[in-house]
Amino acid sequence: MTDLALGKSLPADRAQLMRWLQDYGVYAGVTALLLFNVVFTENFVSGENFRTQAVQVAPVLIVALGMALAIGSEGVDLSVGSVMALATSLVSLYLGYGPWLALIAAIIGGMVCGLLSGSLIAYIGVQPIVATLALMVGCRGLANVFLPQLETVRDDTMATLGTGDILGIPYLALIAAALAALVAFTVKRTTFGRQLLAIGDSRPAAQLAGLPVRRVLIMVYVCSGALAAIAGFLATARLQASDPTSLGNLMELSAITAVVVGGTPLSGGRVRIGGTVAGAILIQLLTATLIKHDLPSSATQIAQAVVIVLAVYAARERGKQ
């Protein structure tokens, strides 16, 4: 009898639980992992460890910001990892003119890639997954043409950026935080951000409302390309080496994971920057936790898979309502 009563009251509760899980689950996950580590992991609560985690998560996080925009527009950007590689090769090429010019060259390279994939999507109507897949393959090749093998990068400014800190907070983390704030502001407060959400939610309606659909879509991929290029520059600075063959490999998948786990639905119309940041941190902490407890990296991958499935499940439950 009690079982029956429970069964009746469950659906409403479950729907609410799922909604809560989608909205705040990622923050709860991060909190839970932090607490777990504070209690069970040796040497977790140390400035050094926090710095390591922050430096490792920064590039993924920056790439994920652009990915969140692409996914919010009902698209996806698979080229981000290759754009990072292209950026690192450009940095290596232009470092002779100073680190800042190298950075600008990298960003322009990333924006051109975004312009290309965005134009394919907006004007020719190529599916985002296909257009950016083409760029993903092409950019990696181009990066290898620019820089055929790994080269070390010796530059004091870049070394400071990549490894230094201010008041104990690494520059990389600060830059990532600033970019996250900038993108969040763009989504919330600019016409571009509002139009992006409307296009992602209902493209026919946005079109009939006279929105500059093509321009907005191209802008999305240009932003994503620029952010990936910045991430590529920062990763180069941290590693103090340019490796166009392996830098950014599988980065697109990590970025999508962060966005999805952060509660941005793949169906578009919503961009959650806070959630994306937390999603990137969650994956980073999960990996760190398992490694610190001497589990093999295969366990990390399986754990990531479980988190992704949970996130998508929560999103699906909401879609059904």
Partner 1 sequence: MTAPAEVLAVRGLTKRFPGVLALDSVDFTARAGEVHALVGENGAGKSTLIKVLTGVYHPDEGDLTYRGEPAAFATPLAAQAAGISTIYQEVNLIPLMSVARNLFMDREPKNRLGLIDFRRMHTEATRILRDYGVGVDVRRPLRDLGVGAQQMVALARAVSVDARVVIMDEPTSSLEPREVQTLFGVIRRLREQGIAVVYVSHRMEELYAICDAVTVLRDGRLVHTGPLADTDRLTLVSLMLGRELGEVRAEGMTKFTGDHETGTEPVLRAEHLTRRHELHDISLTIRPGEVVGLGGLLGSGRTETAKAIAGALPLGSGKVTVAGAPVRTGSTPAAIRAGISLLPEDRKSEGIVPGLSVRENIALAALPQMSRFGLVSEAAIDKVVETFMKRLQIKASGPHQKVGELSGGNQQKVLLARWLAMQPKVLLLDEPTRGIDVGAKAEVQKLIDELAEDGLGVLLISSDVEELIEGSDRVVVLRDGAVVGELTGDDVTEDRLLQAIAAAAEEAADTTEAVTP
Residue 197, interface with partner 1 (CB under 8 A)?
Answer: yes
Residue 201, interface with partner 1 (CB under 8 A)?
Answer: yes
Q: How far is the CB of 199 from partner 1 (least distance, A)?
A: 9
Residue 160, interface with partner 1 (CB under 8 A)?
Answer: no
Residue 219, interface with partner 1 (CB under 8 A)?
Answer: no
Q: Is the dihedral of CA 149, 229, 29, 301 positive or negative?
A: negative
Residue 41, interface with partner 1 (CB under 8 A)?
Answer: no
Residue 249: how many CB atoms within 10 A of its CB? 15
Q: Which residues contact 216 (CB under 8 A, 6 or more apart)?
A: 73, 192, 195, 196, 199
Q: Which of 24, 36, 50, 192 binds partner 1 (CB under 8 A)?
A: 192
Q: Which of 88, 31, 113, 57 is nearest to 254 (CA)?
A: 57
With contacts defined by CB under 8 A, name the span among 100-108, 144-152, 166-174, 185-193 that binds partner 1: 185-193
241 beta partners:
152
- Taking the C-alpha atoms of residue 30 and residue 286, their distance in angstroms, rounded to an integer, is 9
282 in Cβ contact with 261 (< 8 Å): yes
Structure tokens at 137: 């393959």
Identity of the amino acid at 21: L
Structure tokens at 54: 């922050």
Instruction: Decide whether 99 or 193 has the Cβ nearer to partner 1.
Output: 193
Instruction: Decide whether 16 or 191 has the Cβ nearer to partner 1.
Output: 191
Residue 27, interface with partner 1 (CB under 8 A)?
Answer: no
Q: How far is the CB of 204 from partner 1 (least distance, A)?
A: 5
With contacts defined by CB under 8 A, name the span among 41-49, 50-58, 196-204, 285-293 that binds partner 1: 196-204
Site residues for partner 1 per CB under 8 A: 189-192, 194-195, 197-198, 201-202, 204-212, 269-270
